[in-house]
Amino acid sequence: MYILDDISYSYLFILLPILIFIFILSIRWKYRMQNRIISKKMINALIPHRSNFKIILKFSILFLSIILLVIGLINPKIGTELETVKREGVDIVFALDVSKSMLAEDIAPNRIEKAKRLVSAIINNLVGDRIGIIVYASRAIPQLPITTDYNSGKMFLQSINTDMMSSQGTALNSALDLSGTFFSEDDQTNRVVFLISDGEDHSDEAQTAARRASSNGIKIFTFGIGTDSGAPIPIKNNGILETYKKDEKGDVVITKKNSDILKQISDLSGGKYIDGNNTENVLKFVSEELKNMEKKEFEAKKFVSYKDRFQIFLLISFLLLIIELFIFETETIWLRNLNLFNEKNQSE
């Protein structure tokens, strides 16, 4: 396994075909000028042992050294070993509401984007804990299994949107049941679900699901996104507002944050509720709660380290440049005397 330290230097490869083009033009210009000024016999008399092959060889060596120099600047790093390391932390599953009500713009830029930024900020503050991600609307679907790879978590987070499910609804019970499958019975770590939602349209089964989660040792912390006054649900096409969602009577639907249902869910599982609109308060709350939880040791496999390999490429590039300096544009005498291609007979 390898990674590239600075891929921006790869743009230097664009210079290589330009270099070839300049070399060809210079050679053609050189021979054209020689033929204009002096005859071919005179050139052979003045430079009897000139070698066209050596000219191409010198350029090829220079060309290869530049390629190796660019690779050295990019600095490919090789993963040296795969090792099992011990970590201490808790297992956290983020359950993110992606129902259409999360498109409301009472929180800038809208509820779903605010929720995603909140999750990303929480992940940035974690150390040693494992994370998983679930999204839910009419049903729950897994996005990321339990892992210590925070970068993957944030990458999956970016792709989450309210169009992931065609049918709408808020199947919180399904999300909590799915969360329970993410936790390993063998590790026996503390189990936490961070539920991020506006609390809209949760079914009556939410409380039952919360009790089930509690019986399985899962604590649910809920974060409410949105305002109590609410906002309409915009319907956009390519980012342009067309209309607002309406009910059967043709009235514009106003979606409001339902803090009460979120508080009930967290209380039934031994967790807590907090307003998710203030990111700073949420981060302090999460940090304090995780600090007070008992950390369990678990195993996590990862590439321990990547070693720089730029030295090899730069060294070979430097050696090739030295070799190029000591190659002259004349024939090698001992090689010419071997007469490998019967040059002598042809000249006679």
Instruction: Kindly report the pTM of this predicted structure.
Output: 0.63
Each residue's pLDDT tens digit, 45-99: 666 666 677 788 888 999 999 999 999 999 888 766 666 667 778 899 999 999 9
Residue 347 has pLDDT above 50, yes or no: no
Beta strands in 129-258 (DSSP E): 130-136, 140-147, 191-197, 218-224, 231-232, 234-237, 240-244, 254-255
Please, which residues have CB within 8 angstroms of residue 261's CB and are 6 or more apart in sequence? 199, 202, 206
- Provide the pLDDT confidence category of residue 202 given band limits of 50, 70 and 90: low
Contact predicate 290/7, CB 8 Å: no
- Provide the pLDDT confidence category of residue 1 given band limits of 50, 70 and 90: low
Domains in the chain, CATH or no CATH each: 2-79+307-347 (no CATH), 84-302 (3.40.50.410)
For the ranges 35-39, 235-239, 245-249, the lowest mean pLDDT is seen at 35-39
Q: Helix, strand or coil for residue 143?
A: strand
User: Which pLDDT score is estimated for 139?
Assistant: 86
Please, which residues have CB within 8 angstroms of residue 203's CB and are 6 or more apart in sequence? 169, 170, 171, 172, 173
Average pLDDT over residues 182-201: 83
Each residue's pLDDT tens digit, 98-128: 999 999 999 999 999 999 999 999 999 998 8
Looking at residue 211, the DSSP 8-state letter turns out to be H
Distances (CA, A) of 210 to 157, 170, 219, 242, 274: 24, 14, 9, 38, 17
Centroid of chain to Cα 153: 9
DSSP 276-329: TT-HHHHHHHHHHHHHHSPPEEEEEEEE--EEE-HHHHHHHHHHHHHHHHT--S
- What is the rounded CA–CA span in Å between residue 265 and residue 211? 8
Q: What is the C-alpha R_g of the chain?
A: 34
Element (H, E) at 120: helix 111-124
For the ranges 4-18, 220-234, 253-267, 321-335, the lowest mean pLDDT is seen at 321-335
User: Which pLDDT score is estimated for 224?
Assistant: 95
Centroid of chain to Cα 100: 27
Residue type at 203?
S
Q: Beta partners for 241?
A: 236
